[in-house]
A and B are shown apart, each in its own frame.
Chain A
Amino acid sequence: RKEVEQDPGPFNVPEGATVAFNCTYSNSASQSFFWYRQDCRKEPKLLMSVYSSGNEDGRFTAQLNRASQYISLLIRDSKLSDSATYLCVLGAGTASKLTFGTGTRLQVTL
């Protein structure tokens, strides 16, 4: 079983739609959780950290469920510019080494 599992997609949604991605992880010792965004042929960029209480940043909401070992990302009112691959990322250990999921591709269309 992979340490971090994501549905690769693609998720094709119209502009204005709400879309949700889930990510499951197997390492219960994971201490930090993130969503990164990666545009085609570009480097990953931090979208948001994920906290146990859930957190929101504009149109983006992230949730963490430690008991079930999954995190989620909700995007409301999708924009064309949201088209990208979204990476679920976990941190663990004293060096906070990151473990990456393979990503979920989102394509927002007119």
Chain B
Amino acid sequence: NAGVTQTPKFQVLKTGQSMTLQCAQDMNHEYMSWYRQDPGMGLRLIHYSVGAGITDQGEVPNGYNVSRSTTEDFPLRLLSAAPSQTSVYFCAIRGGKAGYTFGSGTRLTVV
């Protein structure tokens, strides 16, 4: 996927569990972001980062934490998973003529 790697691809969590979704890029782009996609809704921005050490909230940040210690990595943490966080999560980077490049996604189910 053009330098954006997301892991895991699938995950099932129990309510209250925590986990970290990983996103790594090898394209040296400053801008990274996390989106969630739910049926009948457009992708919605959770958090984004314009460079190492800088993060900001998007449209739906509640229940999620992020950090950006390096240019390459932008992990998304769920501290206490809830069924409402069942979704498909995409990491995206921005750069060049390709515009935004998305990772292959993580399908998360919270039971």
A 54-110 contacts with B by CB, 8 A: 87, 95-103
Tell me if A87 and B48 are in contact (CB < 8 A). no
Q: How far is the CA of A46 from the CA of B101 in the complex (A)?
A: 8
Q: Residue B102 at the A interface, CB < 8 A?
A: yes
The range of chain B's interface size is 20 to 34
In the assembled complex, how far is the CB of residue A79 from the closest CB belonging to chain B, in whole angstroms?
23
Set of chain A residues within 8 Å of B1, measured between Cβ atoms: 43
Closest to B40 in A: A102
Closest to B99 in A: A46
Tell me if A97 and B48 are in contact (CB < 8 A). yes
Q: How far is the CA of A97 from the CA of B92 in the complex (A)?
A: 11
Tell me if B42 and A103 are in contact (CB < 8 A). yes
Q: How far is the CA of A102 from the CA of B41 in the complex (A)?
A: 5
The contact of A95 among B40, B48, B104, by CB within 8 Å, is: B48
Tell me if B104 and A43 are in contact (CB < 8 A). yes
Q: What total of A-B pairs shows CB separation below 8 Å?
A: 45
The range of chain A's interface size is 10 to 19
Tell me if A4 and B48 are in contact (CB < 8 A). no
Tell me if B50 and A95 are in contact (CB < 8 A). yes
Tell me if B42 and A95 are in contact (CB < 8 A). no
In the assembled complex, how far is the CB of residue A40 from the closest CB belonging to chain B, in whole angstroms?
12
Closest to B2 in A: A45
8 nearest A-B residue pairs (beta carbon)? A100-B42, A43-B102, A100-B43, A46-B99, A102-B42, A101-B42, A43-B105, A43-B104
Q: Sample 14 A-B pairs with CB under 8 A, ordered by A number.
A: A4-B42, A42-B104, A43-B1, A43-B90, A43-B103, A45-B102, A46-B99, A46-B100, A95-B48, A95-B50, A98-B43, A100-B35, A100-B44, A102-B41
- Knowing that A87-B43, A95-B56, A97-B58 touch, tell me 18 more A-B residue pairs with CB under 8 angstroms: A34-B99, A42-B104, A43-B1, A43-B90, A43-B102, A44-B100, A44-B102, A87-B42, A95-B48, A96-B94, A97-B45, A98-B43, A98-B45, A98-B100, A100-B35, A100-B43, A102-B42, A103-B42
